[in-house]
Amino acid sequence: MERTFAIIKPDAVKARHAGQILQRIEESGFRILALRLQHLTKTEAEGFYAVHRARPFFGSLTDFMSSGPCIVMCLEAPDAIKKWRTLMGATDPAKADAGTLRKQFGASIEFNATHGSDAPETAAFEIGYFFRGMEIG
pLDDT digits (tens, 9 = 90+) for 67-83: 999 999 999 999 999 99
Contacts (Cβ under 8 Å, ≥6 apart) of 15: 105
Output phi, psi for 32, to 5 deg.
-85, 110
Q: How far apart are CA 10 and CA 40, in angstroms?
A: 10
Domains annotated on the chain, with CATH: 2-38+69-135 (3.30.70.141)
Catalytic residue among 17, 39, 52, 115: 115
Catalytic (active site) residue 39: no
Q: How far is CA 7 from the centre of its chain?
A: 2
- Is the pLDDT at 137 greater than 80? The verdict is no
Q: What is this structure's pTM?
A: 0.92
pLDDT bin (cut points 50, 70, 90) of residue 136 is confident
Looking at residue 135, its amino acid is: E
